[in-house]
Amino acid sequence: MAKKALISGITGQDGRHLAELLNDKGYEVHGIIRGQENTKKSIMKQELSFVHLIEADLTDQSSLVRAVEISQPDEVYNLAAISHVGYSFKNPQLTLDVTGKGVLNMLEAIRLNGMEKTARFYQASTSEMFGGLDYNRPGKGYDENALFHPRSPYGVAKLYGHWITKNYRESYGMHASCGILFNHEGPKRGIEFVTRKISNAVARIHLGLQDHIELGNLDPKRDWGYAGDYVEGMWLMLQQPKPDDYVLATGETHSIKDFLELAFKEIGINDWRPYVKQNPLFMRPAEVDILLGNPKKAEEKLGWKRRVDFPGLVKMMVDHDIELETKAMKKNKK
Ligand code: G4F
């Protein structure tokens, strides 16, 4: 019989990659969608028609109990969150409700269905929990034992989700694992995140549709990988005999300036500076200056390894956005 998976956050970048992966592996895939997201619903029906959509909300306990009851999952992947760090500063309480307490609601939904011993659970933890302040490990990077010091309402809420997942593992013997994922990007990334914002703007500059891009702080460094590689790691965590926590990262860190450099080179522009304006609107009250992950445990224990490197990622995103914008231009001309 086919295994069943329940994914929250199915309309996001990771949810879409994971749904495809699980479908390819023969799973029956169920996805949680908020009731009023009609546009997203129709996109999902076109793109991922195999997904069984269930209307529920991470802040509504009873709806999650129903989602678990309907889907009877072997595996639950909790990917839903308010995931934009900048937004979390403006909406800290909503972020706590969804990104923090939502994890508890999901764990409780499994327990209230009496499935804590049968359903395996994945929690999307994040490198934002490290906060970049304890960066005293040059060349080593943050691993599973590094200190947490979140620097945003998002990071703080995620840390609650991380610890409540560990608590349910220890208290109720749940097969509950946390993936501490460093930034992972790609063509499915939302335009509000810096990599996609750049790749999209570069494509539009190339096609003469805009002449510059406005960004915030250009100095922070991130450990950027490809999202398609990272969902494989999520799945591998739930296939292990015992639950555990794992860092998924590339082990390299690059600044936003490095991303700009490569992205503009893709369209034959060697100096990106004249095309970039800084706008304080995109600055954050507190910044994570540097993130570098150490994926050794995942590589050794899960056999996980990222495939796409940094230049490959930038190229993939710029090429995709040039194609997308070209298609849109042609459609508009008709
Ligand atoms: O792309 P970002 O918004 O990603 P951020 O803040 O690193 O968070 C992402 O990765 C986390 C994993 O570490 C996830 F947990 C989280 O959900 C999300 O996926 O910003 C990256 C950097 C920041 O330093 C930001 O200040 O880019 C800087 N930046 C500069 N200008 C900008 C902009 N970020 C955005 N979003 N937009 C700008 O115009």
State pLDDT tens for residues 300-310: 999 999 999 99
Q: Is 27 known to be catalytic?
A: no
Residue list, ligand 1 pocket, CB within 6 Å: 83, 85-86, 126-128, 182-183, 192-194, 197, 215-217, 220, 222, 256, 282, 284, 287, 291
Q: Which residues pair with 7 in a beta bridge?
A: 31, 77
Domain boundaries, the chain: 4-185+225-248, 194-221+254-291+310-333
CATH number of 194-221+254-291+310-333: 3.90.25.10
The model's confidence at residue 130, banded by pLDDT at 50, 70 and 90, is very high
Q: Could you identify the atom of ligand 1 that is nearest to the CA of residue 158?
A: 15
Is the pLDDT score of 138 beyond 70? no
Confidence (pLDDT) at 135: 60
Q: Which CATH architecture has domain 4-185+225-248?
A: 3-Layer(aba) Sandwich (3.40)
Confidence (pLDDT) at 180: 98
Q: Give the three-class secondary structure for 120.
A: strand
State pLDDT tens for residues 270-297: 999 999 999 999 999 999 999 999 999 9
pTM for this prediction: 0.96
The model's confidence at residue 136, banded by pLDDT at 50, 70 and 90, is low
State pLDDT tens for residues 192-227: 999 999 999 999 999 999 999 999 999 999 999 999
27 close to 97: Cβ distance less than 8 angstroms: no
Q: Is 77 known to be catalytic?
A: no
State pLDDT tens for residues 174-192: 999 999 999 999 999 999 9
Q: Could you identify the atom of ligand 1 that is nearest to the CA of residue 185?
A: 19
Look up residue 238 and give its amino acid: L
Sign of torsion over alpha carbons 265, 269, 270, 273: negative
Q: Could you identify the atom of ligand 1 that is nearest to the CA of residue 291?
A: 13
Smallest CA separation from ligand 1 atom 10, residue: 183
Mutate to test the pocket of ligand 1, among 88, 222, 226 (most ligand atoms within 8 A of CB): 222
E-assigned strands of 22-134?
28-33, 52-55, 75-78, 120-126
State pLDDT tens for residues 160-177: 999 999 999 999 999 999
Q: Is 128 known to be catalytic?
A: yes
